[in-house]
């Protein structure tokens, strides 16, 4: 197999890896998270897009200085072995929690919509088994899965048709009707939905055309952003302001507006098909977490994937209250923001320690 080669990812792989890791369960509740803006949220994802395009630049810059190293190694090189490794441990833990959060929220969704009469333990187990199967194929397998996931799920956009038909155009105006506090509230809550592109710092060494990586990543980011943009616009059209604030997975309910003579609840098909998007997001993170564990222990072992998976499984099915679980996951989300700022910090360290490191 071609996994022995170092450079694996061509431009399509990069575009869709970036795109798919961004596009997970976050989108389902994006309109609710932005609800402090009310109807004015419609254009907000575009702003997210701008922020994402700017914040990915330092990531690629610091990576391009160390062409054959991922962020875990860069941490060790720049900050020394011990500090670097403890930071890496922290990142691995954060990723594990983040994965648990994604999977748990999706599984809760499945339980409420598709399988109301079952406990989720065994489905979670099967889900994780499949996830490890994808990740075991290496980053190229993950990237290919991302491409397929995109093309398999993109027809779901068609289901928005009825929501647009039934929607109210006047909801869109006025466009900028909010104050500063509401703006930051929406930014804080909503930006979580589009996190995921930072994983590029971990698979960057495998990219063939590293010089154009920024461009390809941007394409990926903007595909996701446009999809988010469409969903928020349609949500704004379709829902009332009260509904935007109180319906948890509003995008899912957009599908329900659909009318076929042979299928009543398209949303169930939609949410089960969403498994592709969740798998592609989770696979990117799990692969990175596995790489982190590899670098922590300074050796490559296949069981590292299983180790992380077992931890995820334990976190997802652990018998603590839904509330505290939610708090834990929220916490891990906010830590995720740190990872956006981290490359800027690293870049500063790099400039300061340039000569020392090069020696």
Where on the chain is the footprint of other proteins (CB under 8 A)?
1-2, 12, 110, 114-115, 117-118, 122-123, 126-127, 130, 133-134, 137, 141, 144-145, 147-148, 151-152, 261-266, 268-269, 272-273, 275-276, 279
CB-based contact 151:286 (threshold 8 Å): no
Dig out the tokens for 228 from the structure: 């988010």
CA atoms of 25 and 17, how far apart (whole Å) = 16
CA atoms of 299 and 220, how far apart (whole Å) = 32
Q: How far is the CB of 141 from other proteins (least distance, A)?
A: 6
Q: How far is the CB of 280 from other proteins (least distance, A)?
A: 9
Q: How far is the CB of 262 from other proteins (least distance, A)?
A: 6
- 88/105 with CB nearer other proteins: 105
- 65/144 with CB nearer other proteins: 144
Q: How far is CA 166 from the centre of its chain?
A: 30
Task: Name the H helices within 196-274.
Answer: 200-203, 213-238, 241-246, 250-256, 266-273
Q: How far is the CB of 145 from other proteins (least distance, A)?
A: 6
CA atoms of 138 and 37, how far apart (whole Å) = 41
- 168/264 with CB nearer other proteins: 264
- 208/268 with CB nearer other proteins: 268
- 244/283 with CB nearer other proteins: 283
CA atoms of 322 and 197, how far apart (whole Å) = 28
CA atoms of 43 and 45, how far apart (whole Å) = 6
CB-based contact 99:282 (threshold 8 Å): yes
| End-to-end CA gap in the chain | 36
Q: How far is the CB of 112 from other proteins (least distance, A)?
A: 12
Q: How far is the CB of 308 from other proteins (least distance, A)?
A: 18
Which residues are registered as beta bridge partners of 9? 207
Cis peptide before 164 (omega within 30 of 0): no
- 46/114 with CB nearer other proteins: 114
Q: How far is the CB of 123 from other proteins (least distance, A)?
A: 6
- 1/351 with CB nearer other proteins: 1
């Amino acid at each position: 197999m071609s996994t022995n080669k170092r450079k694996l990812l061509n431009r399509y792989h990069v575009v869709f890896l970036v795109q798919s890791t961004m596009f997970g369960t976050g989108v389902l509740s994006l309109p609710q998270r932005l609800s402090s803006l009310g109807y004015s949220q419609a254009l907000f994802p575009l702003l997210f897009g701008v922020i994402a395009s700017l914040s990915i630049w330092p990531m690629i810059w610091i990576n391009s200085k160390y062409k054959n190293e991922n962020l875990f190694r860069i941490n060790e090189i720049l900050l020394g072995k011990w500090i670097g490794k403890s930071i890496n441990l922290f990142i691995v833990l954060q990723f594990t929690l983040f994965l648990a959060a994604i999977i748990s929220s999706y599984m809760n969704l499945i339980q409420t919509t598709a399988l109301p009469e079952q406990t989720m333990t065994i489905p979670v187990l099967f889900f994780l088994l499949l996830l490890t199967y994808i990740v075991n194929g290496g980053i190229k397998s993950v990237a290919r899965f991302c491409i397929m996931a995109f093309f398999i799920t993109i027809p779901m956009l068609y289901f928005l048709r009825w929501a647009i038909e039934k929607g109210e155009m006047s909801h869109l105006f006025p466009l900028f009707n909010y104050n500063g506090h509401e703006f930051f509230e929406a930014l804080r809550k909503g930006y979580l939905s589009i996190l995921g592109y930072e994983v590029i710092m971990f698979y960057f060494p495998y990219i063939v055309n590293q010089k154009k990586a920024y461009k390809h990543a941007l394409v990926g980011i903007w595909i996701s952003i446009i999809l988010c943009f469409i969903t928020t616009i349609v949500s704004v059209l379709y829902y009332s302001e009260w509904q935007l604030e109180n319906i948890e997975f509003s995008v899912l309910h957009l599908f329900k507006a659909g009318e076929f003579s042979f299928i009543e609840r398209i949303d169930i098909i939609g949410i089960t098909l969403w498994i592709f998007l969740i798998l592609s997001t989770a696979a990117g993170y799990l692969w990175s977490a596995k790489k982190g564990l590899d670098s922590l222990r300074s050796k490559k072992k296949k069981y590292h994937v299983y180790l992380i998976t077992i931890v995820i499984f334990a976190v997802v099915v652990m018998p603590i209250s839904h509330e505290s679980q939610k708090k834990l996951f929220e916490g891990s989300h906010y830590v995720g923001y740190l990872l956006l700022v981290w490359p800027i910090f690293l870049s500063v360290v790099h400039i300061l320690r340039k000569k020392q490191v090069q020696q």
